């Protein structure tokens, strides 16, 4: 078998050779796998998938809570030459099943607790793919499926595996879609290595480092956690969702886990400074990305962890990190605005354009475009959206349109100035407000609906305004419960207001600006 050295599967091979007895991954419950053990389990996963016909270029779904099994499954999928498609295990099964159908997965690695719901939600066309079921639950496995115990006990010779190449698809990360249908961002091994190479150059990463894994595996921050740690032969320390959302538990975790490298969205660090135990051993390196870090909690964090190297990282899922800014050792007391998103990360390139597609000079606000080897291939089976996402210049170079408005301060450092569309970031997750509206419209009693968002020091608050059909009465509890059928928890509106009708502009469009003013006054809290 020929294996390209720029293939993510090679990272585990190299780590298992160099540091076989070092702990590769551990969870909060004390379960762990060494690199030698992780490589053995990944081999058995890949062997089973290959015997099922999974081949280079195929896709395999992942519907598991963070666990050593999930890490082994990811590496096993990559070993076959296939790409992994992770979904939020806490999201509605209808949404996850739709993502798997759209991506044409050949198999799914799924928690036993979630398998029956996935089976029931499967919309077709065609039958549910074969499952690798992790855990025990009555009715979880069907004919032709395999349990995790089957995988571990399988010592049959591995079938011939295909050649693996850097340009192959490595993973598809689903992101919120404005039409209510999530988009699958296709990223190759070469895309991932572009980011990992930059990390090696920018950060002081060490072989014995302990890396936090705060981000869920369907979130692009997890790419650093999973593969930067493996590249160094360090230890990936998994943080469960319950702990990751509770600042008091995060403080306890940091006190016990001896984390050297931390990476998360700013929101949990803000909560930690306000409601948690910040007087804990500081990581040597603290990275944050996914949303704006308000300056007040960042000042508190910097004061509490004066010796940590801190970086503000920026980039949509389509590019991973594409700009970065190091936070100074001391933040001036009179600073009252967030830090910039920073300079473009080489070898990527950046442009700022106006609404007519013309480059703008420093000091002018425009849309940020990114080009280079870290930029996605496109959206899976959504060629129309892929075309819309790029600008092609006169030399044939493709520039991804981030949708973010920035301003060059004159030195090549970019200041974030907002969005040009209706996408927001909440706890680092990208949310298209149109997807929430689509979910509201699926309620049989809803006549019209509109969703707006407002940002503050406490993060992003999402408000839904709903007009019911004549004779129908709205219930905040019932409407939120309805949303849980179609949306992950982070997309459920914080507030729901029932109105006789939505306000309109002079051209009969929904007056989103007026609704934003209403939401700012707190009307319709739910």
Show the tokens assigned to 265: 């969205």
Residues 205 and 74 in one domain: yes
Predicted confidence (pLDDT) per residue in 276-324, tens digit: 788 899 999 999 998 888 899 999 999 999 999 999 999 999 999 999 9
**In 19-146, which residue ranges form alpha helices assigned H by DSSP?**
35-51, 68-79, 93-103, 115-121
Integer Cα distance of 164 and 3 in angstroms: 5
Contact of 241 with 28, CB cutoff 8 Å: no
Integer Cα distance of 272 and 310 in angstroms: 16
Integer Cα distance of 213 and 225 in angstroms: 6
Residues 374 and 489 in one domain: no
pLDDT surpassing 80 at residue 486: yes
Which of 216, 238, 260 finishes a domain? 238
Is residue 486 situated within a structural domain?
yes
Task: HSE, CB side, 13 Å, CA atoms: give it for residue 420.
Answer: 15
Predicted confidence (pLDDT) per residue in 125-163, tens digit: 888 999 999 998 877 788 889 999 999 998 776 666 667
Is residue 100 situated within a structural domain?
yes
Contact of 418 with 407, CB cutoff 8 Å: no
Integer Cα distance of 130 and 108 in angstroms: 7
CATH number at residue 388: 2.30.38.10
Residue 124 pLDDT level (bands cut at 50, 70, 90): confident
Q: Is 229 helix (H, G, I), strand (E, B) or coil?
A: helix
Residues 369 and 432 in one domain: no
Domain extent, residue 485, equals 426-520
Burial 157-184 (b: 16+ CB within 10 A, else e): ebeebbebbbebbbbbbbbbbbebbbbb
Contact of 462 with 426, CB cutoff 8 Å: yes
pLDDT surpassing 50 at residue 526: no
Residues 28 and 170 in one domain: yes
Integer Cα distance of 285 and 248 in angstroms: 21
Q: At a CB cut-off of 8 Å and minimum separation 6, what does 143 contact?
A: none
pLDDT of residue 17: 97
Residues 408 and 435 in one domain: no
Is residue 311 situated within a structural domain?
no
* 188 to 15, 84, 164, 195, 289: CA distances (angstroms): 21, 11, 11, 11, 21
Q: Which residue matches tokens 């855990």?
A: 135
Integer Cα distance of 110 and 263 in angstroms: 26
Contact of 272 with 245, CB cutoff 8 Å: no
Residues 50 and 173 in one domain: yes
Show the tokens assigned to 41: 């389990």
Closest CA to 440 of 489, 487, 477, 504: 487
Mean pLDDT of the chain: 91
Residues 115 and 186 in one domain: yes
Is residue 314 situated within a structural domain?
no
Is residue 255 situated within a structural domain?
no
Predicted confidence (pLDDT) per residue in 390-426, tens digit: 999 999 999 999 999 999 999 999 999 887 777 788 8
Contact of 267 with 249, CB cutoff 8 Å: no
CATH number at residue 56: 3.40.50.980
Q: Which residues pair with 32 in a beta bridge?
A: 26
Q: Which residue matches tokens 């607790």?
A: 113
Which of 375, 390, 419 finishes a domain? 419
Integer Cα distance of 79 and 47 in angstroms: 9
Integer Cα distance of 455 and 468 in angstroms: 27
Closest CA to 253 of 234, 235, 277: 277
Is residue 273 situated within a structural domain?
no
How many other CB atoms are there within 10 angstroms of residue 135's CB atom?
A: 18
Q: State how many domains the chain has.
A: 3
Integer Cα distance of 40 and 53 in angstroms: 20
Q: Which residues pair with 432 in a beta bridge?
A: 423
Is residue 263 situated within a structural domain?
no
Is residue 397 situated within a structural domain?
yes
Predicted confidence (pLDDT) per residue in 81-111, tens digit: 999 999 999 999 999 999 999 999 999 999 9
pLDDT of residue 459: 76
- The pTM (predicted TM-score) of the whole model is 0.87
Which of 365, 394, 419 finishes a domain? 419
CATH number at residue 499: 3.30.300.30
Contact of 362 with 410, CB cutoff 8 Å: yes
Residues 361 and 498 in one domain: no
Residues 33 and 95 in one domain: yes
Residues 450 and 374 in one domain: no
Residues 64 and 94 in one domain: yes
For residue 456, is the peptide bond before it cis, meaning its omega torsion is within 30 degrees of 0?
Answer: no
**C-alpha torsion 48→52→57→60, nearest 10:** -70
Residues 382 and 475 in one domain: no
């Amino acid at each position: 078998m020929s294996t390209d050295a720029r293939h993510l599967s090679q990272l585990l091979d190299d780590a298992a050779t160099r540091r076989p007895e070092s702990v590769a991954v551990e969870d909060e419950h004390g379960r762990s796998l060494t690199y030698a053990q992780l490589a053995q389990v990944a081999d058995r996963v890949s062997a089973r998938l290959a015997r099922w016909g999974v081949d280079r270029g195929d896709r395999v779904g992942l519907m598991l809570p963070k666990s050593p099994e999930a890490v082994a499954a990811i590496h096993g999928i990559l070993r076959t030459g296939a790409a992994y498609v992770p979904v939020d295990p806490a999201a509605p099964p209808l949404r996850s099943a739709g993502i798997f159908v759209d991506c044409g997965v050949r198999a799914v690695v799924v928690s036993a607790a979630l398998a029956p719901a996935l089976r029931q939600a499967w919309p077709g066309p065609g039958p549910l793919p074969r499952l690798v079921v992790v855990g025990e639950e009555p009715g979880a496995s069907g004919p032709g499926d395999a349990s995790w115990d089957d995988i571990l006990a399988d010592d049959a010779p591995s079938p011939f595996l295909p050649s693996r190449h850097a340009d192959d698809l490595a993973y598809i990360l689903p992101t919120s879609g404005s039409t209510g249908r999530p988009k699958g961002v296709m990223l190759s091994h070469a895309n991932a290595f572009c980011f990992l190479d930059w990390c090696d150059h920018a950060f002081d990463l060490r072989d014995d480092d302990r890396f936090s894994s705060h981000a869920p595996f369907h979130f692009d921050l997890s790419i650093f956690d999973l593969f930067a740690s493996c590249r160094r032969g360090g230890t990936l320390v998994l943080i469960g969702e319950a702990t990751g959302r509770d600042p008091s538990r995060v403080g306890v975790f940091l006190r016990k886990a001896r984390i050297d490298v931390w990476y998360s969205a700013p929101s949990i660090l803000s909560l930690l400074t306000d409601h948690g135990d910040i007087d804990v051993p500081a990581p040597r390196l603290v990275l944050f990305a996914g949303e704006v870090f308000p300056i007040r909690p960042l000042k508190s964090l910097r004061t509490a962890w004066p010796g940590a190297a801190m970086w503000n990282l920026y980039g949509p899922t389509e590019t991973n990190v594409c700009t970065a800014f190091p936070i100074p050792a001391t933040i001036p007391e009179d600073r009252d605005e967030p830090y910039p998103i920073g300079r473009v990360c080489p070898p990527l390139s950046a442009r700022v354009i106006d609404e007519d597609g013309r480059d703008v000079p420093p000091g002018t606000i425009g849309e940020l475009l990114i080009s280079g080897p870290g930029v996605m291939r496109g959206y899976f089976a959504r060629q129309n959206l892929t075309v819309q996402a790029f600008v092609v210049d006169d030399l044939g170079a493709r520039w991804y349109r981030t949708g973010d408005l920035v301003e060059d301060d004159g030195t090549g450092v970019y200041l974030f100035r907002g969005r040009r569309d209706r996408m927001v970031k909440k706890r680092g997750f990208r949310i298209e407000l149109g997807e929430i509206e689509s979910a509201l419209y699926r309620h049989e009693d809803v006549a019209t609906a509109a969703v707006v968002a407002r940002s503050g020091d406490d993060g992003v608050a999402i408000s839904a305004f709903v007009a019911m059909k004549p004779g129908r009465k709205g219930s905040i509890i019932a409407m939120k419960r309805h949303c849980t059928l179609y949306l992950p928890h982070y997309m459920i509106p914080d507030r729901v207001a029932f109105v006789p009708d939505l306000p309109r502009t002079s051209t009969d469009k929904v007056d989103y600006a007026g609704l934003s003013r209403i939401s700012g006054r707190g009307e319709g809290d739910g």
